[in-house]
Amino acid sequence: MLPDTMDCQKPQQLAERLEARIVQQIPLLAAMQLCFDEYDGQRLRLSAPLAPNINDKGTAFGGSLATLATITGWCYTTLLADRIGANEVVVAESQMSYLAPVEGRLQSRCEMDDPHLLEQFLARLAAQGRASLQLKVIIGEEAEPALSYCGRYVARLRSPL
């Protein structure tokens, strides 16, 4: 079973606290006007308005899409790893396909269908102090994504359990 701090803190509150921290500490995310839209412990949705993320063609800038996808996976991993204490999470590698232009708000979504992978990740992190997690993120509609992203994140316990 997943170690869980969710009993006393709702997922959405944890996500809002993380949002406030990273938007304050990472100026590029403030410039992008990053927002947390939803976190229920399984699914995370972030977004950003088009205006600060526009390109020379009037659609979303590829760098903004890459950044939004990367931070969505990072936040997902961080919110998960935080369940077993203060952690450091970094992105290790990523690949993405730009499938269609984004003409409105940039909306990303990360969801892990297989809870066993999350349990394995947390068990390894608790036992070894280090674990990696592979995640998919999409930007746009699920049926017709504008960007499809896959990233691998590494979490480390700052102080072993």
Yes or no: say if 26 and 32 are a contact pair by the CB < 8 Å rule.
no
Q: Please give the sequence-ordered ranges of beta strands (E in DSSP) within the chain, or none if there are none.
A: 35-39, 43-48, 87-98, 106-111, 130-140, 145-157
Among 21, 43, 103, 127, contact with a second copy (rule: CB under 8 A): 21
Question: Among residues 2, 3, 37, 96, which is the contact residue for a second copy, using CB under 8 A?
Answer: 96
Rounded Cα distance between 42 and 45, Å, is 10
74: three-class secondary structure by DSSP: helix
Segment near a second copy (CB under 8 A); pick from 4-12, 94-102, 118-126, 138-146: 94-102
CA–CA gap between residue 139 and residue 8 (Å, rounded) = 31
Site for a second copy in 115-154 (CB under 8 A): none
Q: Which residues, listed in sequence order, are joined to residue 98 by a DSSP beta bridge? A: 147
Per CB under 8 A, 159 contacts a second copy: no
Q: Can you tell me which of 2, 3, 12, 31 binds a second copy, judged by CB under 8 A?
A: 31
**Which of 124, 147, 125 is closest to 137 using CA atoms?**
147
CB 92 to a second copy: min, Å? 6
Question: Interface mask (CB under 8 A) for a second copy, residues 36-75, using x and -?
Answer: ---------------xxxxxxx---xxxx-xxx-xx--x-
* Binding positions for a second copy, rule: CB under 8 A: 21-22, 25-29, 31-32, 51-57, 61-64, 66-68, 70-71, 74, 88, 90-98
